[in-house]
């Protein structure tokens, strides 16, 4: 079989089969991950090739446009600030280099914590059952009905200036309940499946069954849920920042938009001030959406397209 | 741009729908619309003696008139409801003569009885709390009527500034006279005074939380007696604009005639869309100087800022020129002393400068750091000073109501961080800032203008930091005086000199020397750090109305939320 050289058509078919066999090689997943990695790359490479100190107030002349454009006062942009400056003289490029990974960081961090809590509680609730289940279920049901932004606005106003990690922790407090509910449901149905019963009969510990037997089967599903949570967390974080409640001195995309709106950037036609962070947030959300769609296809084979 | 136009059209339509109901019969060209920078929390209450937005929504600009108006251009006290005043040699007795023929809008005569009644109201009711009423209560011992048009007030202590301070619209308001025939028998702490009446050329028509409407009284006493012609606008509206962006849209689309403070960039954007919009100066930096110079307030009871050397260190680290350039877009200048830089203040500013206490326009970070290191701090690996394992940090409370405030504090936070002080800003809502943070001393540092007061003499500002006003943190500072809680031997020495100035007549030759003498204590202890002069860039629209106050047409300052706005409205002329 192997000594016969394959025709082109055969090779192509084999590739297709291979791709079909490995659901992780999904174009949506690739593109989504690519967009997010590009943002992270901008953050890393930017720090190497651009001065991150320019991100602070008063680093340059305020309201300078990108090169090739003029602002209302007739000043044309220079390559000292390739993406222009905002109203307090911060360099827009530096803002993006520092700010975009920051927004992503808050999302990932909050989601990671939220997911971990969710996985733990979901498994415990579904597997242990009884009183524990009642408590966890009621708690997560109650939390689902509470609008997080409302509570977070109050929290953040009370805390004043918060750090990124603090903000992530606060948001994490509102993204654990959905994974808890969903994982609990999955665990309940899985509990009845043959291999779990088998493991139980062979005397495996609860811990072993939960995390060694059942968890691997939930991985694609967990990933999907994780990415959805990252999106929710970033939306929440940006929402808070646009209200002016995020960290003060640490640049984030949301805060940049808040300051632009507050300082009347729209009427002054300072499009680079509000436009660039908005664009970047859009790219970030599209990336997350693509990953989410891709993961959906990974965990649900019926969604996979047959490209013949 | 299309989006901008869409927003503008939408707000225009909303505005037309809003005002349309009341104003159908008055044409736009007969109406003047002023900007209101706050919500009218209680639009049915006109008791100005109690706190709230009860004056600046048109009441004291159109309906209630002051006795005198301080003219910032000439330094004179222009008579309005009064014709003049006389003081005795020791400045303890003031006799005010009232104009003849003044009538309340309901036809009753305005006379000495109303003045005596209102002053007595303030003297006998401890619970009424407006700043003007408290000042009168603190200063006046008694008032008597000499005849129908003359009153005499006797003071507790000599005060040569008595008239301008209380009845002359020196800053924002004045002690307003209320009609005895309506207020008599009412409890001044709870009376709503609705419908309100006044002596002004306009009467109250209606008010909601975001606007107040005033209509011209064609039977106004001033026109009948020949004091002044009827003002041209038939209709005056004070409308809450809500933020720089919508303020700018309303001005650009001629939906507003005078707007509150905007940034230089916003003003240029408005003018690019609507060339009929002007400001105090026709060219950059456009803005008019406001008498309340900006400063960094420091709570001198909280360590490590209870150490004068640490406060001086902060003063060295602050770069005023950078604040001017970045936070105000070059619209103002660095403060040289604590005083507003008006020509009338020059003798006192010069005295301070000559004595060597002038503030530096730029930073001397090394000098600041040397002071911090002398206090036992050493720089950690993160570039922040620490002592005993604790970072040198400071939280700066800032009123979030204006980008001027937040941008200035962002700049200072940056300067301090770069020098090794872990500063951070704490934005606070307007009401909380003035109601809870500042008066009770619940802050380490803050941004405000609490030495505001002096316009043509030094005492009003300097007198706000004497030791008699020191109260513990958690108690309300009287009249926002000495919120720094500056106390100790230097403060006592300062207070003694300032108190000795209080009774000296205006223009006394010894005052500048005393100012310099007292200022040495301020310079050494820095209970507050003067930053920059204040500017107000107020866009004014000449599409429907001309005659706005400008540097070329300087009949008085342009602050149209002050009691002096009567002058502006009388000067307005129809554009066509």
Three-class SS state of B481:
coil
Burial degree of A133 (CB within 10 A; 0-12, 13-18, 19+): middle
The upper half-sphere exposure of residue B424, i.e. CA atoms within 13 Å in the direction of its Cβ, equals 16
Q: What pLDDT is attached to residue B22?
A: 46
Grade residue A257 by pLDDT with cuts at 50, 70 and 90. Answer: very high
Residues in chain A, total? 308
Alpha-carbon distance A298 to A220, whole Å? Answer: 7
Alpha-carbon distance B48 to B50, whole Å? Answer: 5
pLDDT(A302) > 80: no
Task: Return the residue in B3, B244, B398 with the most chain A beta carbons within 10 A, the one to mutate for interface testing.
Answer: B244
DSSP B295: E
Q: Which residues of B touch A264 (CB under 8 A)?
A: 243-245, 248, 262-263, 265-266, 269
Select the residue of A58, A264, A269 nearest B322 (Cβ to Cβ): A58
pLDDT(B543) > 70: yes
Structure tokens at B41: 């929390």
User: pLDDT of A65-112, one tens digit each?
Assistant: 999 888 887 888 888 889 999 988 899 999 999 998 888 899 999 999
Select the residue of B266, B407, B415 nearest A88 (Cβ to Cβ): B407
pLDDT average, residue stretch A236-251: 86
Alpha-carbon distance B394 to B124, whole Å? Answer: 43
Task: Determine whether the interchain pair B329/A266 forms a contact, defined as Cβ–Cβ distance below 8 Å.
Answer: no
| Residue of B326, B195, B337, B345 whose CA lies nearest to B264 | B326
pLDDT(B475) > 90: no
Task: Determine whether the interchain pair B266/A87 forms a contact, defined as Cβ–Cβ distance below 8 Å.
Answer: no
Q: Which residues of A touch B330 (CB under 8 A)?
A: none
Alpha-carbon distance B139 to B479, whole Å? Answer: 13
Mean pLDDT estimate for chain A: 85
pTM attached to this predicted model: 0.81
Q: Which residues of A touch B244 (CB under 8 A)?
A: 262-264, 267
Question: For residues A59 and A93, is the Cβ–Cβ distance under 8 A?
Answer: no
DSSP B70: E
Q: Which residues of A touch B263 (CB under 8 A)?
A: 87, 263-264
A contact residues 77-116, partner B, Cβ 8 Å cutoff: 87-89
In Å, how far are A82, B95, B130, B159, B426 from B154, measured between CA atoms?
69, 9, 21, 10, 46
Chain B: residue whose CA lies nearest to A89: B326
Select the residue of B245, B322, B425 nearest A161 (Cβ to Cβ): B425
Structure tokens at B403: 């980008």
Task: Determine whether the interchain pair A248/B425 forms a contact, defined as Cβ–Cβ distance below 8 Å.
Answer: yes
Grade residue B41 by pLDDT with cuts at 50, 70 and 90. Answer: confident
User: pLDDT of B92-110, one tens digit each?
Assistant: 999 999 999 999 999 999 9
Beta strands in B177-267 (DSSP E): 202-208, 211-216, 235-240
pLDDT(B7) > 60: no
Alpha-carbon distance B134 to B76, whole Å? Answer: 25
DSSP A76: B
Structure tokens at B173: 């308001």
Nearest-neighbour CA in chain B from A147: distance (Å): 23
The upper half-sphere exposure of residue B507, i.e. CA atoms within 13 Å in the direction of its Cβ, equals 1
Chain A: residue whose CA lies nearest to B411: A57
In Å, how far are B19, B178, B188, B254 from B110, measured between CA atoms?
33, 9, 19, 38
Select the residue of A73, A89, A267 nearest B4 (Cβ to Cβ): A267
Alpha-carbon distance B446 to B448, whole Å? Answer: 7
CB pairs under 8 A between A and B: 95
CA torsion angle for A237, A238, A242, A248 (degrees, to 10)?
A: 60
pLDDT(B14) > 70: no
In Å, how far are A30, A130, B266, B322 from B286, measured between CA atoms?
55, 73, 12, 19
Three-class SS state of B405:
helix
Grade residue A187 by pLDDT with cuts at 50, 70 and 90. Answer: confident
| Residue of B471, B394, B459, B448 whose CA lies nearest to B425 | B394
CA torsion angle for A120, A124, A125, A128 (degrees, to 10)?
A: 180
For B154, the enclosing helix (H) or strand (E) is strand B150-155
- Would you list the DSSP string of B79-94? ESSEEEEEE-TTS-EE
Q: Decide the pairing of beta strands B93-98 and B82-87.
A: antiparallel
In Å, how far are B82, B87, B115, B140 from B94, measured between CA atoms?
13, 4, 13, 10
User: pLDDT of B208-249, one tens digit each?
Assistant: 999 999 999 999 999 999 999 999 999 999 999 877 888 999
- Cα A36 versus chain centre, distance: 9
A159 touches chain B (CB under 8 A): no
What residues are paired with B288 via a beta bridge? B536
Q: What pLDDT is attached to residue A16?
A: 65
DSSP A80: T
Three-class SS state of B457:
coil
Alpha-carbon distance A163 to A106, whole Å? Answer: 10
Alpha-carbon distance B290 to B302, whole Å? Answer: 31
Quick one: CA dihedral B267, B271, B277, B279, positive or negative?
Answer: positive
Alpha-carbon distance B532 to B262, whole Å? Answer: 17
Grade residue A17 by pLDDT with cuts at 50, 70 and 90. Answer: low
Alpha-carbon distance B77 to B161, whole Å? Answer: 11
Alpha-carbon distance A138 to B297, whole Å? Answer: 50
Q: Which residues of B touch A161 (CB under 8 A)?
A: 395, 424-426
């Amino acid at each position: 079989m192997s000594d016969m050289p394959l025709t082109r058509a055969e090779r192509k078919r084999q590739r297709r089969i291979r791709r079909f066999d490995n659901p992780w090689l999904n174009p949506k997943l690739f593109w989504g991950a690519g967009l997010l990695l590009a943002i992270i790359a901008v953050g890393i490479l930017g720090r190497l090739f651009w001065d991150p100190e320019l991100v602070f107030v008063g680093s340059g002349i305020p309201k300078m446009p990108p090169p090739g454009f003029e602002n209302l006062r007739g000043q044309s942009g220079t390559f000292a600030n390739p993406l222009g400056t905002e109203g307090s003289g911060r360099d827009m490029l530096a803002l993006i280099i520092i700010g975009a990974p920051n927004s992503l960081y808050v999302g990932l961090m909050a989601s990671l914590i939220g997911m971990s809590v969710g996985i733990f509680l979901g498994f415990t609730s579904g597997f242990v059952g009884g009183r524990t289940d009642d408590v966890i279920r009621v708690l997560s049901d109650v939390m689902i009905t509470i609008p997080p932004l409302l509570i977070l606005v109050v929290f953040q106003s009370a805390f004043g200036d918060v750090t990124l990690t603090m903000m992530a922790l606060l948001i994490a407090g509102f993204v654990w309940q959905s994974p808890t509910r969903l994982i609990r449901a999955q665990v309940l149905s899985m509990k009845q499946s043959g291999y779990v019963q088998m493991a139980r009969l062979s005397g495996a510990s609860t811990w072993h069954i939960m995390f060694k037997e059942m968890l691997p089967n939930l991985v694609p599903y967990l990933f999907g849920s994780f990415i959805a949570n990252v999106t929710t967390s970033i939306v929440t974080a940006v929402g808070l920042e646009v209200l002016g409640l995020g960290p003060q001195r640490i640049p984030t995309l949301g805060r940049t938009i808040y300051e632009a709106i507050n300082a009347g950037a729209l009427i002054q036609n300072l499009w680079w001030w509000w436009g660039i962070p908005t664009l970047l947030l859009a790219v970030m959300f599209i990336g997350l959406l693509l990953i989410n769609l891709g993961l959906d296809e990974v965990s649900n084979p019926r969604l996979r397209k047959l490209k013949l | 741009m299309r989006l901008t136009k869409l927003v503008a059209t939408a707000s225009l339509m909303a505005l037309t729908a809003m005002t349309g109901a009341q104003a159908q019969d008055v044409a736009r060209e007969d109406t003047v619309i002023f900007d209101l920078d706050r919500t009218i929390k209680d639009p049915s209450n006109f008791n100005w003696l109690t706190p709230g937005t009860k004056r600046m929504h048109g009441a004291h600009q159109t309906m209630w008139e002051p006795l005198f108006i301080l003219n910032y251009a000439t330094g004179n006290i222009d008579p309005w409801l009064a014709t003049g005043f006389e003081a005795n040699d020791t400045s303890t007795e003031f006799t005010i003569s009232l104009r003849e023929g003044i009538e309340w809008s309901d036809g009753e005569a305005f006379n000495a009885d109303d003045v005596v009644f209102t002053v007595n109201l303030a003297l006998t009711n401890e619970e009424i709390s407006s700043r003007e009423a408290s000042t009168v209560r603190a200063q006046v011992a008694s008032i008597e009527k000499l005849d129908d048009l003359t009153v005499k007030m006797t003071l507790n202590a000599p005060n040569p500034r008595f008239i301008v301070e209380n009845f002359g619209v020196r800053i924002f308001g004045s002690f307003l006279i209320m009609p005895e025939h309506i207020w008599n028998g009412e409890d001044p702490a709870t009376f709503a005074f609705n419908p309100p009446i006044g002596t002004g050329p306009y009467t109250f028509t209606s008010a909601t939380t975001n606007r107040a409407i005033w209509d011209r009284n064609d039977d106004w006493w001033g026109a009948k007696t020949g004091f002044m012609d009827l003002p041209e606008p038939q209709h005056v509206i004070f409308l809450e604009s809500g933020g720089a962006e919508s303020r700018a849209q309303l001005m650009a689309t001629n939906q507003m005639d005078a707007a509150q403070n905007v940034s230089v960039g916003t003003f240029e954007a408005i003018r690019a869309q609507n060339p009929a919009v002007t400001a105090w100066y026709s060219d950059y930096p456009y803005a008019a100087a406001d008498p309340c110079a900006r400063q960094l307030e420091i709570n001198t009871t909280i360590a490590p800022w209870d150490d004068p050397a640490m406060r001086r260190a902060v003063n060295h680290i602050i770069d005023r020129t950078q604040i001017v350039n970045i936070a105000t877009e070059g619209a103002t200048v660095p403060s040289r002393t604590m005083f507003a830089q008006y020509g009338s203040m020059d003798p006192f500013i010069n005295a301070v400068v000559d004595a060597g206490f002038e503030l530096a326009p730029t930073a001397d970070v090394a000098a600041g750091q040397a002071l911090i290191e002398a206090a036992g701090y050493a720089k950690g690996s993160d570039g922040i000073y620490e002592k005993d394992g604790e970072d040198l940090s400071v939280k700066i409370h800032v009123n979030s109501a204006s980008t001027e405030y937040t941008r200035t504090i962002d700049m200072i936070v940056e300067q301090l961080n770069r020098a090794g002080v872990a500063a951070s800003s704490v934005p606070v809502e307007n009401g909380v800032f003035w109601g809870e943070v500042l008066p009770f001393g619940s802050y380490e540092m803050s941004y405000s203008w609490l030495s505001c007061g002096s316009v043509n003499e030094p005492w009003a500002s300097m007198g706000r930091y004497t030791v008699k006003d020191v109260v513990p943190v958690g108690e309300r500072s009287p009249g926002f005086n000495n919120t720094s809680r500056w106390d100790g031997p230097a403060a006592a020495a300062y207070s003694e000199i300032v108190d000795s100035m209080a009774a000296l007549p205006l223009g006394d030759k010894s005052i500048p020397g005393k100012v310099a003498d007292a200022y040495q204590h301020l310079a050494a202890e820095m209970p507050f750090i003067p930053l920059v002069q204040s500017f107000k860039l107020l866009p004014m629209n000449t599409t429907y109305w001309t005659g706005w106050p400008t540097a070329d047409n300087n009949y008085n300052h342009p602050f149209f939320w002050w009691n002096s706005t009567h002058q502006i409205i009388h000067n307005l002329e129809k554009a066509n």
